[in-house]
Amino acid sequence: MIFTEKRQGDFMSSVIETKDLNLWYGKHHALMDINMAVPKNQITALIGPSGCGKSTFLRTLNRMNDQIEGVRIEGEISLRGENIKNLDANVLRSRVGMVFQKANPFPMSIYDNIAYGPRILGVHKKKELDEIVETSLKQAAIWDECKDRLKTSALGMSGGQQQRLCIARALAVKPEVLLLDESTSALDPVSTSKIEDLLLELKKKYTIIMVTHNMQQAARIADRTAFFLLGELIEYDNTEKIFSHPADKRTEDYITGRFG
Amino acid sequence: MDGTVTLQKSRLKKQKSVENIFKTIFLIFGMFSIAFVIFISIFLIISGVPAITKIGFFKFMFGTKWASTAAKPSFGILPFILTSVYGTCGALLVSVPVGIFCAVYLAKMAPGPVAAAVREAVDLLAAIPSVVYGLFGMIIIVPSVRKLFNLPDGANLFSATVVLAIMVLPSIISESETALRAVPKEYEEGSLALGATYTETVFKVSLPAARSGVLTSVILGTGRAIGEAMAVMMVAGNVANMPGIFKSVRFLTTAVASEMSYSSGLQRQALFSIALVLFFFIIMINVVLRKLTSKGEVK
């Protein structure tokens, strides 16, 4: 505990910390000794070539890998100093929200999509739900586009709208951390830039960790960037530093497009 | 160069004619099934309508007394209609919840080998001939019902409903399971990521998403239950009573089957009319099914 507090002092205040995190899929060693502290109210981008472990790392933070058979995890992940192994997976996931690569609204109305999480957590009063739905949609900057059709199916929205709906849905349970797994990779540039603006706004209230294949995106909006390669965390620093003076040759090769 | 072009042209021509021959063959075979449906419809209407007009539509459909061989015969088929409706509804009352839960278990919860074994059993259940269900009902269910409820005879609507419930189960299970398996994994991940437990996810996201497939399974089950003759004939007691849970009853199907061999005249015609009514029920079920599935496709 003392140790954690000391570390928190080092990095402003970190929300998530991993210590010697290792993960195996069966025999495949997918994450090796990851030590990382994610600072509060910042956007942290995880970059690296396909299969480097960045998505695996992200999904370990809210224990989505628990679902997969044959996964073995060693090391420690703490959320505000609390080991996430000691939390119920569903409690953890309501504190660490996630938005996926492909927008995945449930086949229900827009309203019910947003109200789903709060209902799971036991909010059933219509007035409260109405309020949560409105604030969540406003936070995700999509309220104006859908306030008149809250009762229509979410599947009728465009791809970009669906993804912002998914962000709103994640916000509705009031998480502390928001994980985004390549959440703009399937979207057109206009929708992408809308979501980027949104994330810059959201970081005032939430801590955001995003996996991205798009290095310009990391450079544009991330405060800190982590470069993963073959399961290792090669370099983790301020975004500016990573993109202008990377300390590691491999980072430089990757961001200058020599491989990846 | 010119040679290759003509060669290609003649090859193309040949291909085209072969193509046309096959198209015609497929068309003919395709027509077969339609032809049968049309023939059966025409046959049933021609042979079923006269009795209805002779007896009178309301007297036939809503008459509560069936006494086809009495000195003063009476041809009311309401007892059969109600028996078929009650028996089917009763069977569904049991097999829908049981079937859906079983499908959820198979599709979402059972570990691989267990699911495979249960699925095998369900498929086998579907393949058992209905006369075997009838035998099982006669030997196990009818005596058990008699003892359990202290009745003079166990062959009644209740026993028939139990047998139907078992028979309907496989169609509901396998169809619902397929629908549940087709639910995109993304939906479930989305729900889990919001802090829902796996059980909550299955019941609040997967099952609603599979709604149209599950409904289809129920309709298919309804069709099977209402059209079943052999098994219920062996366990329902086969008396043309107005239905009561522990009364011997006759279904629409068994009414036709049990008298056909010795019927004549108006009695025989009335049996055809019963078949026509049954046919109408089946068509209605199919219409509903069509409506539901097309709705599911549009989303």
Residue B193 covered by a domain: yes
User: Domain check: are B83 and B31 in the same one?
Assistant: no
- pLDDT of B107: 93
Residue B64 covered by a domain: no
The B-side interface with A (CB below 8 A) comprises 184, 186-187, 189-197, 200, 204-205, 208-209, 299
Distance of CA A61 to the CA centre of its chain: 9
Across B12-27, average pLDDT = 88
- String of DSSP letters for A69-109: TTEEEEEEEEETTEEGGGS-HHHHHHHEEEE-SS----SSB
> In this predicted model, what pLDDT tens digit does every residue of B88-114 receive, in sequence order?
999 999 999 999 999 999 999 988 899
The answer to whether A97 touches A59, Cβ cutoff 8 Å, is no
User: Domain check: are B48 and B83 in the same one?
Assistant: no
* Spatial separation of the C-alpha atoms in residues A120 and B202, rounded to whole Å: 13
Mean pLDDT of chain B: 91
Across B58-81, average pLDDT = 90
The answer to whether A53 touches A219, Cβ cutoff 8 Å, is no
- pLDDT of B290: 83
User: Domain check: are B85 and B155 in the same one?
Assistant: yes
Residue B188 covered by a domain: yes
Q: Is 3.40.50.300 the CATH classification of the domain at A2-255? A: yes
Instruction: Nearest by CB to A98, from B193, B197, B205: name it.
Output: B193
**What residues of chain A lie within 8 A of the CB of B189, using their CB?**
64, 67, 100, 104
Two tokens at B219? 């309709």
Q: Indicate the burial class of A19 (C-beta count within 10 angstroms; 0-12, 13-18, 19 or more).
A: middle
More confident residue, B210 or A186: B210
- pLDDT of A6: 43
* Spatial separation of the C-alpha atoms in residues B259 and B263, rounded to whole Å: 6
Confidence of residue B12 (pLDDT cuts 50, 70, 90): confident
Instruction: Nearest by CB to A90, from B190, B197, B208: name it.
Output: B197
Work out whether strand A96-99 and strand B66-67 pair parallel, antiparallel, or are unpaired. unpaired
Name the least confident of A62-66, B2-6, B18-22, B229-233.
B2-6
- pLDDT of B295: 63
The answer to whether A154 touches A110, Cβ cutoff 8 Å, is yes
E-only strand ranges, chain A: 14-25, 28-39, 43-47, 71-79, 82-83, 96-99, 177-181, 207-211, 224-229, 232-238
User: Domain check: are B158 and B232 in the same one?
Assistant: yes
User: Domain check: are B143 and B9 in the same one?
Assistant: no
- pLDDT of B17: 87
User: Domain check: are B177 and B228 in the same one?
Assistant: yes
Q: Is the pLDDT of residue B293 over 90?
A: no
User: Domain check: are B7 and B91 in the same one?
Assistant: no
**What residues of chain A lie within 8 A of the CB of B184, using their CB?**
104
Instruction: Nearest by CB to B196, from A92, A108, A120: name it.
Output: A120
- pLDDT of A1: 36
Nearest chain B residue to A174, by CA:
B194
| Whether B191 and A153 lie within 8 Å, measured CB to CB | no
Two tokens at A67? 């679902």
* Spatial separation of the C-alpha atoms in residues B86 and B157, rounded to whole Å: 9
The answer to whether the complex's ipTM is over 0.90 is: no
Residue B51 backbone dihedrals phi, psi, to 5 degrees: -60, -40
Work out whether strand A232-238 and strand A82-83 pair parallel, antiparallel, or are unpaired. unpaired
Instruction: List per-block mean pLDDT (blocks of 10 residues) for chain A, which spans 260 residues.
Output: 42 82 92 94 93 92 87 92 90 94 93 95 93 93 91 92 94 94 89 91 94 92 94 94 92 84
- pLDDT of A260: 60
Confidence of residue B299 (pLDDT cuts 50, 70, 90): very low
Look up the domain containing B41 and give its range.
2-55
Nearest chain A residue to B193, by CA:
A93
Residue B208 covered by a domain: yes
Give A 91-130 residues with CB within 8 A of chain B.
91-94, 97-98, 100, 102, 104-108, 116-117, 120-121
Nearest to A35 by CA among A77, A4, A70: A77
Confidence of residue B231 (pLDDT cuts 50, 70, 90): very high
Residue B67 covered by a domain: no
State whether the Cα torsion A155-A157-A160-A163 is positive or negative.
negative
* Spatial separation of the C-alpha atoms in residues A23 and A34, rounded to whole Å: 9
Instruction: Tally Cβ neighbours within 10 Å of residue A29.
Output: 15
Q: Where are the domains of chain A?
A: 2-255
- pLDDT of B2: 62
The answer to whether A16 touches A209, Cβ cutoff 8 Å, is yes
User: Domain check: are B162 and B214 in the same one?
Assistant: yes
Q: What is the dihedral angle through the alpha carbons of B56, B57, B61, B66, rounded to the nearest 10 degrees?
A: 20
Residue B17 covered by a domain: yes
Residue B166 covered by a domain: yes
Q: Is the pLDDT of residue B288 over 70?
A: yes
**What residues of chain B lie within 8 A of the CB of A100, using their CB?**
186, 189-190, 193
Nearest to A176 by CA among A102, A78, A101, A85: A78
Give chain B's domain count. Answer: 2
* Spatial separation of the C-alpha atoms in residues B55 and B270, rounded to whole Å: 9
Instruction: Nearest by CB to A104, from B189, B196, B204: name it.
Output: B189
Nearest chain A residue to B189, by CA:
A64
Q: Is the pLDDT of residue B296 over 70?
A: no
The answer to whether B249 touches B160, Cβ cutoff 8 Å, is yes
Give the 3-state secondary structure of residue B225.
Answer: helix
- String of DSSP letters for B275-296: HHHHHHHHHHHHHHHHHHHHHH
Number of H helices, E strands in chain B: 14, 2
Residue B63 covered by a domain: no
Two tokens at B116? 């495979």
Distance from CA of B94 to the nearest CA of A (A): 28
Give the 3-state secondary structure of residue A213.
Answer: coil
Residue with structure tokens 């020599």? A258
| Whether B209 and A91 lie within 8 Å, measured CB to CB | no
Across B19-37, average pLDDT = 91
The answer to whether A78 touches A85, Cβ cutoff 8 Å, is no
Nearest to B70 by CA among B238, B240, B243, B233: B240
Distance from CA of B136 to the nearest CA of A (A): 42
Q: Is the pLDDT of residue B1 over 70?
A: no
Length of chain A: 260
Q: CA-based angle A199:A204:A207, to the nearest 5?
A: 70
- pLDDT of A68: 83
* Spatial separation of the C-alpha atoms in residues B137 and B25, rounded to whole Å: 45
Instruction: Nearest by CB to A106, from B190, B197, B299: name it.
Output: B190
More confident residue, B299 or A227: A227
Distance from CA of B8 to the nearest CA of A (A): 45
> In this predicted model, what pLDDT tens digit does every residue of B254-269 receive, in sequence order?
999 988 888 888 999 9
Cβ contacts below 8 Å, chain A against chain B, sum to 66
Q: Using N-to-C axis directions, what is the helix angle for A110-120 and A126-139, rounded to 10°? A: 110
The answer to whether A173 touches A94, Cβ cutoff 8 Å, is yes
Length of chain B: 299
